[in-house]
Amino acid sequence: MDNDMNTPTTAEAEVAHDFPGLIRVFTDGRIQRFKGTDVVPPSTPTTHPVSSKDITLHPHSTLSARLFLPPPPSTNTTNHRRKLPLLVYFHGGGFCTSSPFTSTYHHYIAAVAAVAKLVVVSVEYRLAPEHPIPAAYEDSWAALQWVASHRSNNGQEPWLNENVDFGRVFLAGDSAGANIVHNLTMLLGDPDWDIGMDILGVCLVHPYFWGSVPVGSETMDLDKKAVVDRLWPFVCPESPDNEDPRVNPVGEGAPSLAWLGCRRVLVCVAEKDVLRERGWIYYNALSRSGWIGVVQIEETHGEGHAFHLYDLASDKAQDFIKTLALFFNRDQPPSI
């Protein structure tokens, strides 16, 4: 409740939900987004020589993605071009803002594709509150199924058929996108959800996990905590409890992380991020879960949530992208 003693203006009186700097919803249904609303074409130049294009994943639907293709690796002596790993990426934005088509994500994903030398499918998914959870999960799962339809090199998209090594597929996302990645990978560990494509590794960047009981330093900034406390009920009104296992994967009653359907996990956290503690808890819980895989964690000191997206030219952002590239390219098979 607004404790300001001044009389609220008409506009203030009509606000139903307010997440400063993110989104505001009015009682008459109007929605005002404060970030992630710009759109740049795939031809927008970047600092890296990466090709990109937009595609619709399924006919008669709005599900779409932006594809990124770095320059092909050198051919070997037999003139066979080496295929590239594939990254399926899910953007952040609290489940309620942003898209792969913003300038921020266009330039960031182009940099990742170029430095890590992989093909990227950057997925667009429906946003809350117009499309509350589980819409984002449903769209992301459908996108992953679409990617898997190319595993025999006969899908609808030539860039995937011709350039991707489907033995080296990764999932990654930041914030809400990292939450999506976790939930998709849990499904992939269930034989009933087999899509015929293995996931080699996943990268959770500043993952949006939360819970109803504060942990660690979360109470040091009560304003930030209050905002995050309200986010899940806003984007998922059908299950508004912050103990929902989709947002608190280590809470009581959550499925065992031993089900995680991949072989390698990288968790990235930032020292000044209110979500930092949850990332560390997830890392420790996965390490102890009995999951058969390798998990590592990287913390960036002195930085806040999603710092790498907003100052891409900084040394720390460049180092961060190199960290991701090392993760994606570890155990890369030698050139023939």
Question: Which residues are catalytically annotated?
Answer: 175
In terms of Cα–Cα distance, which of 116, 120, 70, 123 is closest to 92? 123
Could you give phi then psi for residue 80, rounded to 5 degrees? -100, 120
